[in-house]
Every structure is written in C-alpha cells, then in structure tokens.
Structure 1
Amino acid sequence: MRAEIEAAAGEIRSSLALLRRHLDWDNALRRLDELNALSEDPTLWDKPEKAQKVMRERTHLQNSIDGYKALERELDDALTLAELGEMEGDEASIDEAERNIRDLKAKAAQRELESLLSGEADQNDCYLEVHAGAGGTEAQDWAQILLRMYTRWAEQHGYKVEWLEESPGEEAGLKSATIEIKGHNAYGWLKSESGVHRLVRISPFDSNARRHTSFSSVWVYPVVDDNIEVEILDKDLRVDTFRASGAGGQHINKTDSAIRITHIPTGVVVSCQVDRSQHRNRAMAMDMLKARLYELELRKREEAAQAVEDSKTDIGWGHQIRSYVLQPYQMIKDLRTGAETSDSQGVLDGDIDLFLSASLAAKIHGGKAEGN
C-alpha cells in the first residue's frame, strides 16, 4: 500500500483513539441508553424544560457516537478499496482511495477538535461585544471591521446573528456593538476570541498615508438558560435609559427606550437597544447581565482566563491576543498559539477557523496554552 495512504490512515486512527477517549466510550453508550429510555417516557414532557434538556443531550450524544462509527466505517472502506486496487493493479481505485483517505483525515481532525467542545456552556449561543480602543477614528473603523469579520464567520457556519446594541463612532466605524450569535457550539468555538486585537495598516483617514497601529477588544460570553441560577440583587444595579443612536437601520430603534444596566459590585455594564419596548430591552439586558456574571464564574472555576479585573486593562499595547498586519506586509498571527496566515483578506471576510481550531488543538497536543 502507498506510504501516503498508510501514514494518513495512522493519523486517522490516532484521531479515533482520542475521540473514543474524549467520549468515554462505554459510559457514553450507557448514558445514551438511559436518555433513550427517558425520551420514551410519556410523562417526560410534563416538564418541558427538563424534556428539552434531555433531548438536546440525547441528540448531541447520538451524533457524537454516530460520527465516530461513521469515521471507522469510512476508513475501513477506503483501506479495502486501496487493497483491492493494488491486488488488481487498478491505479484509478488506488487514487480514489487516497483522495477518500485525505478527506477522511481532515474530517477526523475536525471531529477531534469538536470533541473538546464539552465545557459547561460550550454548546450554548453567545453574546459577542466589540469595543474600540486606542486610536480614535482609526480604532473605531477597526472595531467595525472586526464585527463584520465575526458576522461573516457566523453566517458562513449557519449561525443566526441578532444585533443588540450599537454605538457609532464620530466620523466612522463603531465605539462599541453587541451581537448575539445563535447556534450549536457558538460559545465553544468563539470563547477564545476574547481579548485585544491589534491592527497595523496605512490609515484611510490619514491624508499623509502614514502607517497606524490601533486596537479593539472583543468579549465573548455564553447565553444562559433559566436552569442556571445567577443571583442579582436590585440594590446592586444602576439602570439608565437613553436614546438609541447610529445608522443601524433595521438593527436599532431611535426611541428613548434603550437600556443600560451597570452591576455595581463587578463593574459589568450591558446595553440593549434592539426593541422599541423599554420593557423588552430591559429584559434582554438582564439576560445579558446574567450571562456575563455566569461567564465570570465559569472563568474562575475553570481557570480559563485572568481574574475579572485583568480584563479591564487598557485596550492597547501588551494586551493583544492577535496581530493583524496589513502594511508593509500581509500577516495575521495569533500570539497565543503561533497560528498565522498571509491571507489577511480571507480572515477579515470571516475565515477565522485556523485560529479557532488552533486554540482547541493546543489543548489536545499540548501546544501554547491559551492566554500565554
């Protein structure tokens, strides 16, 4: 058998072994039997929230197990095709087997990464905030470019995007904006994007065409459901109403119903201006606040990031997680994992899977730790 096929098959088997270990195979099969039995209980839907949770877990586990079995089956089929091709001297069959193995290798690697999305909130929808930092109009334009990058990524992966808050820059771009990204594993994929993003380019706002460095920060936190208890006391809140502003078109309203809530003990601030109803904006802002406070607790428990106060540092030098250099050369590099690409336009058009995958791969293969 060709050396390329044997090498690729070896890598696929390694991925399958890791997948089986992450799934905790015997316990996964036992748990699926339990969930199947629960789903057939006619009294399950007497408690809809519990029923939905059971069905989500069952679907996720079934898909994981079926995906593993499919990879095993496809590998056996491809190797059988290669062996038959060699026995019969059929180069076309061998070439087809090699193509199948190559595709299967990429699929197995992707499954391996997705198996790590098993954190407490990884499967949830998420909120994503972008804030312009040092650099004035240039940084505000950069914030808008970043937000476009994430919305493009979301759309390319079949996620839904809802705009919740938008504060425009004086001349161009955004001072800040918040969107909700809805879809399976949205938080798990995007949580490593929290941090400061640095841009180096010839500024379109500089008549002398000089190179500028600017910064914007991204904050990602999970949408949480009603089963998760987060205690919020009225006395700890400051609620402000204001008129929504900006050219958001269908994204935002223009009445005095926009809501800003400050959680005084932590300094967390959330805003919502998506609806003309002040009551609905307040309810959505409370959901966002609950999610932010829950995410802070997740970070502490999982030791996945610095303490909350560290996240309040200036948006500037020394705190960036990724560097986007457009001049004098093209290079985007993640400073935590070392992942890099010269396809800057592709990245800014939403092709950020390289960086998202690298963050997960670092956990599997012992690469650079996130945040280092």
Structure 2
Amino acid sequence: MAVPESAPQRIADARDRFAALEPHLRPDELRARVAELDAAMGESGFWDDQDRAAKTTAERSRATRRLEIHDQLASDLEDLEGLLELADEDDDLAEELVEQLDSVEKRLADLEEERLFTGPYDAGDALVTINAGAGGTDAQDWAEMVLRMQMRWAERRGFKVDLLEASAGEQAGIKSATFRVEGDHAYGLYGAERGVHRLVRISPFDSQGRRQTAFAGLEVAPVVEEVGDIEIRDEDLRVDTYRASGAGGQHVNKTDSAVRLTHQPTGIVVACQQERSQTANKETAMKMLYAKLVERAERERQEEIAKEKGEAQDVGWGSQIRSYVLNPYTMVKDLRTNVETGNVQNVLDGDLDEFVRAWLLQQAGEAEAAPAE
C-alpha cells in the first residue's frame, strides 16, 4: 500500500499533542517517585506491615505503568519519522507506518481523556450500584441488562471487575447489584454513567406484545482506602445476615455468609456476599458504606456550591441521562450531550466510550467557562 498523503501532517500533529501532554505526564517526577518507592521496598522489615507494603507496591505499579506509556509513546513517535522515510519504497513498511500511527493517535486520545479528570477521587477505583426502577419485571430485566453492559464496558477498558452483591428479581433480572471496578480513573469514568437509564421496547413479559418503558438507576461511589473525617458509629448501623445467592444462580455462589448493612441516619444500604466468610463480607460492606458516605458528602458539597452560585440543581443520580429505544425504531441517545447511535446492540455489549468521552468534554468545557472562585 502507498503511504497516505496525510501521514506527514498526522505525525506532526501527534508530536504536538505529545508535547502538550508532557506537563500532565510528568515523567521526571514519576522516575524520581519510582526510585523513592524502590528504596522503601528495599528497607529491612518492609514486608512486615502488609497494608503499607500493598499500598506501596500498588503505587509503584501505577507509576511504572504510566512511565512505560510515556516512554513507549516517545519511542514510537521517533520510529514514525524513520518509517515515513522508508515506507515510500516498501509496501510492508507503509502498512506498518499506518498501523503504528493509528496506535499512537489512540494512545494520545486516551491520555488526553485523562486530563479531563479533576475530582479528588477521579483517579481511583469505583463502586457501581445498579437498581431497578419503575417498570416491574421489565425494569428488573433491564437492570440486569444495564449491569451486563456496564461490566462489559469496564472489561473492554482492561479494568478488573468484581461483583459484590446481586439481588434477584421475582421473575427475571435483578432488583439491585453492586460491583467494584479497579483501574486508572475508574471513578472518574463512571461518573458519566451516573443517573437513570431508560429502555423502550416490546416487552417479552407482556402476553399482548405491548411496548413498555422501563428504568434502571446507576449510582457510583469512590473506593476510599484511608478513613477520613466521616465517622460510622456502631449504634447507627443495623447488621443483617442472610443466605447469599446470585440472580438466578448466575452471579454469586451460594453461601451462608452474606451481610447487609443499613446506615440508619442516612438510609444508605449496602450488602456483600462475594467473600467466603461473614467477617470478610462485613469488612467489605463497611468499605462500601464508607465509600457511599464519602460520595454523599462530596455531592452535598457540590450542591451547596451550586446553590450559592444560584445555579439550577440537578438531583444527583435521580435524573434521566440516556434513552435506549428498541421499538418502534432503534437508537441510543444521551440526553445531556445529544450523542446518539443506531447501533443499539454494540452499546448494550459495552461500547460506551463515545458517550462517556462526550460527557467528559462537556464537563471540562463547563468547568473552563465557569468563573473563578
């Protein structure tokens, strides 16, 4: 294949984009931090404190990964210049040039996406909860579809996903489910999915084949390892234990160790049935509860700021964000950004990047337009 005429300009643009990202990537700071962590890991008795060791090794892994991304991009950009000179006379090299240029542009886009995250917890992991809304059995079936869609999206991005709890519906689907997503900027990304998801389709549960509308809500909370100012008192907790079972036996193996915690002052309920022991499930549930209390406090802070500025209030995740229409036509439309597609099946299979990126760009634009504090 011939070298595309656009290749030299695309390479020049990629170089400019990479240069603009350097202050964000901070490779020199990362190298210094990795050296510090290596020194700490080499100290006598480092592994005696397992919690500290786990946090240190996790931070080193993240820093090393970001350095590798930076260094590989820098190397690939250098290689592109050489490939461009040779590709005119070699079709195989021309094809390699195009493939590498596509790869470089994709990785640059991913790094540019990271710059859109500004929240205090955006870089960390997330707890995602799906709840069936109005619509009876259809809503519970839809909630399970949303659960599958969201978990598949996480997996497509290379995140680790653990289903912590799933409550089966009476006839089909789920009443609720919570899963943890581990990966860079998981919480920041899932902020784009927080809200009510609306489905319109011919109901498979209606004997007359009528069109039905169903709703499912998505909540997201940051995973916060360090305990801060929020206090959870024993007298504020109601602890229930029950026999764990997944939705239809699909998700979670049956045990006798499931734990449900109700935080009575706020009404927040969390549950965990993933672990083998009741003690381990309670420990995980406490972390889930703390995460939700942190998210609640952050949301209330943002609402108070908006109120002081005289801005219209958005009722957290109670607002409808996206419609999925399967009948009388097929379309998924985000009601915040107006991004839409007719390829509904791809979206239901976890292809959410276009919707998420549009929302992140919209949020970044609004933040830049806002007056300084």
TM beyond 0.5 = yes
Q: In structure 1, what is the equivalent of residue 175 of structure 2?
A: 175
Within the candidate set 61, 64, 83, 1:62 is matched to: 64
For residues 84 and 151 of structure 1, the distance between their equivalents in structure 2, rounded to whole angstroms, comes to: 43
Instruction: Tell me which moved more, 231-240 or 50-59.
Output: 50-59
Q: In structure 1, what is the equivalent of residue 249 of structure 2?
A: 248
Cα shift at 1:359 = 3.6
Q: 1:34 to 1:117 in 2, by over 3 A?
A: farther
Q: In structure 2, what is the equivalent of residue 137 of structure 1?
A: 137
Q: 1:234 to 1:329 in 2, by over 3 A?
A: same
Cα shift at 1:269 = 1.4
Cα shift at 1:198 = 0.8
Secondary structure in 2 aligned to 1:247?
helix
Contact persistence 1:337–1:367 (CA under 8 A):
no
TM-score by length of 2: 0.81
For residues 163 and 363 of structure 2, the distance between their equivalents in structure 1, rounded to whole angstroms, comes to: 32
Q: 1:214 to 1:18 in 2, by over 3 A?
A: farther
Cα shift at 1:119 = 5.2
Contact persistence 2:217–2:317 (CA under 8 A):
no
For residues 350 and 62 of structure 1, the distance between their equivalents in structure 2, rounded to whole angstroms, comes to: 28
Q: In structure 1, what is the equivalent of residue 40 of structure 2?
A: 38
Pair 1:207 & 2:172 matched: no
| AA at the equivalent of 1:82 | L
Q: In structure 2, what is the equivalent of residue 335 of structure 1?
A: 335
Q: In structure 1, what is the equivalent of residue 315 of structure 2?
A: 310
Unaligned runs of 5+ residues in structure 1 are 314-318
* Identity in percent: 43
Q: 1:213 to 1:78 in 2, by over 3 A?
A: same
Deviations along 1:197-253, one digit per CA (max 9) or x if unpaired, are 111112112233222221100112233325656410122223344555653356153
Deviations along 1:114-146, one digit per CA (max 9) or x if unpaired, are 455685444544322111111111111100111
Cα shift at 1:82 = 1.1
Q: In structure 2, what is the equivalent of residue 22 of structure 1?
A: 24
Deviations along 1:6-44, one digit per CA (max 9) or x if unpaired, are 332243224313421222455444444433443443454
For residues 195 and 326 of structure 2, the distance between their equivalents in structure 1, rounded to whole angstroms, comes to: 20
For residues 66 and 249 of structure 1, the distance between their equivalents in structure 2, rounded to whole angstroms, comes to: 38
- The 5-angstrom pairing of residues 91-170 of structure 1 reads 93-114=93-114, 120-170=120-170
Q: In structure 2, what is the equivalent of residue 239 of structure 1?
A: 239
Pair 1:282 & 2:287 matched: no
Contact persistence 1:322–1:335 (CA under 8 A):
yes
Q: 1:332 to 1:121 in 2, by over 3 A?
A: same
Unaligned runs of 5+ residues in structure 2 are 308-312, 369-373
| AA at the equivalent of 1:214 | A
For residues 81 and 250 of structure 1, the distance between their equivalents in structure 2, rounded to whole angstroms, comes to: 49
Q: 1:297 to 1:14 in 2, by over 3 A?
A: farther
| AA at the equivalent of 1:187 | Y
Contact persistence 2:187–2:220 (CA under 8 A):
yes
Cα shift at 1:254 = 6.6
Q: In structure 2, what is the equivalent of residue 316 of structure 1?
A: none
